[in-house]
Amino acid sequence: MPLKIIRNDIIKMPVDAIVNAANTALKMGGGVCGAIFAAAGAEKLQKDCDQIGKCAGGEAVITNAYNLPSRYVIHTVGPIWQGGSHGEAHLLHNCYTNSLTLAWQHECQSIAFPLISSGIYGYPKDQALQIAISAISEFLLNYEIMVYLVVYDKKAFVLSTKLSSAIEKYIDDNYIEEHRLSQRRRGIEPYEIQQLEEIHERFDTCASMPAAEVKPSLEDLVNQLDESFSQMLLRLIDEKGMTDVETYKRANIDRKLFSKIRSTKGYNPSKVTAIAFAIALELNLDETSDLLSKAGYTLSHSNKFDVIIKYFIEEGNYNIYEINEALFAFDQVLLGA
């Protein structure tokens, strides 16, 4: 199952387990920890924690969730930021891995994490995010569990300055929304422009046809369809030497959805699903356009989402989780899931 970054309050997540950024004494604290205790029922949750006693940095323990909409609370102790040279990254990575392992052992099908250590513990948010996504994606390569990375406030989510600047420059150089706006000011809507272009194209095609040529019937056209999206996808998976499991995991796609695509010849996916598979297969721009066209889509310079996707493909970066980081930061829909 996939990883999804969402904005929400973690105590409202209807998942099997939510993760609490705990302290080593497992005492009710402030911030996310305090909110979880209060929502669960502080006295009951504290009693469970007291029975466990303590939790070392990077480790995780589990309790009931009581009044929360989840079944369990997994408590993990993130590192306090001390400049990065005291093993903080290793401990933070362990927080996610150990929490996920504990959830899996308790047969959880879904889990929600806060961005651990990025609050009062002072871990730089962009680095904390990178470690979270790295640890979660590594786990998902071998296990099936729906993972949510919950961001309460957009201010709590920080894309790396270098990546953010590079994407912003690429958007500035390639995004043509202003051109579209100027056309609207002249009273021409985008759909009208497209209609005019299609009329001109049909006119040019008809003008170039020999007078005696007979157009095929609608029935002939329907019976001579090109390769479908699902057919092309399965062919590309074979050509790339990849397995089905490897493909849908790298695409951040649920196994059930992939099975539906595989078994339905004429399946028409959403655009984000189609692009997710293009990323998983590491297709170049031309190959991506070919695959998208099978589902009736294209990549446009007048769509910010499309421009960001083009940026990553041109950079040769096919890490879908990093792409989703950028899409989330720019308020765009995420790939997969």
- Which of residues 262 and 160 earns the better pLDDT score? 262
First to last CA, the chain: 8
- The mean of the pLDDT values for the chain is 85
The answer to whether 124 touches 81, Cβ cutoff 8 Å, is yes
Say yes or no to pLDDT of 293 above 50.
yes
pLDDT digits (tens, 9 = 90+) for 55-80: 999 999 999 999 999 999 999 999 99
| CATH architecture, domain defined by 3-158 | 3-Layer(aba) Sandwich (3.40)
Q: What b/e sequence results for 50-75 when a residue is b if at least 16 CB atoms lie within 10 Å of its CB, and e otherwise?
A: eeeeebebbbbbbbebbebebbbbbb
Domain ranges of the chain: 3-158, 172-329
For residue 185, what pLDDT is reported? 45
Phi, then psi, of 71 in degrees rounded to 5: -85, -40
Ranges 19-33, 118-132, 222-236: which has the least confidence: 222-236
Q: What is the mean pLDDT of residues 269-286?
A: 94
Question: pLDDT by residue (tens digit) across 39-57?
Answer: 999 999 999 999 999 999 9
Three-state SS annotation for the chain? CCEEEEECCHHHCCCCEEEEECCCCCCCCCHHHHHHHHHHCHHHHHHHHHHHCCCCECCEEEEECCCCCCCEEEEEECCCCCCCCCCHHHHHHHHHHHHHHHHHHCCCCEEEECCCCCCCCCCCHHHHHHHHHHHHHHHHCCCCCEEEEEECCHHHCCCCHHHHHHHHHHHHHHCCHHHHHHHHHCCCCHHHHHHHHHHHHHHHHHHHCCCCCCCCCHHHHHCCCCCCHHHHHHHHHHHCCCCHHHHHHHCCCCHHHHHHHHHCCCCCCCHHHHHHHHHHCCCCHHHHHHHHHHCCCCCCCCCHHHHHHHHHHHHCCCCHHHHHHHHHHCCCCCCCC
- Output the pLDDT for position 154: 61
Strand 60-64 to strand 72-76: parallel, antiparallel, or no bridges (unpaired)? antiparallel
Kindly report the pTM of this predicted structure.
0.76
- Quick one: average pLDDT of 250-261? 90
pLDDT at residue 197 in the model: 54
Rounded CA separation 317/232 (Å): 22
> Is residue 99 scored above 70 in pLDDT?
yes
> Which one is predicted more confidently, 233 or 224?
233
Looking at residue 156, its pLDDT comes to: 56
% pLDDT > 70, the chain: 82
Which residues, in sequence order, are CB contacts of 85 under 8 Å at separation 6+?
Answer: none
Top mean-pLDDT range of 92-101, 129-138, 190-199, 317-326: 92-101
d(CA 2, CA 6): 13
Predicted confidence at residue 182, as pLDDT, reads 45
pLDDT at 166: 81
Q: Band of the pLDDT at 312, cuts 50, 70, 90? A: very high
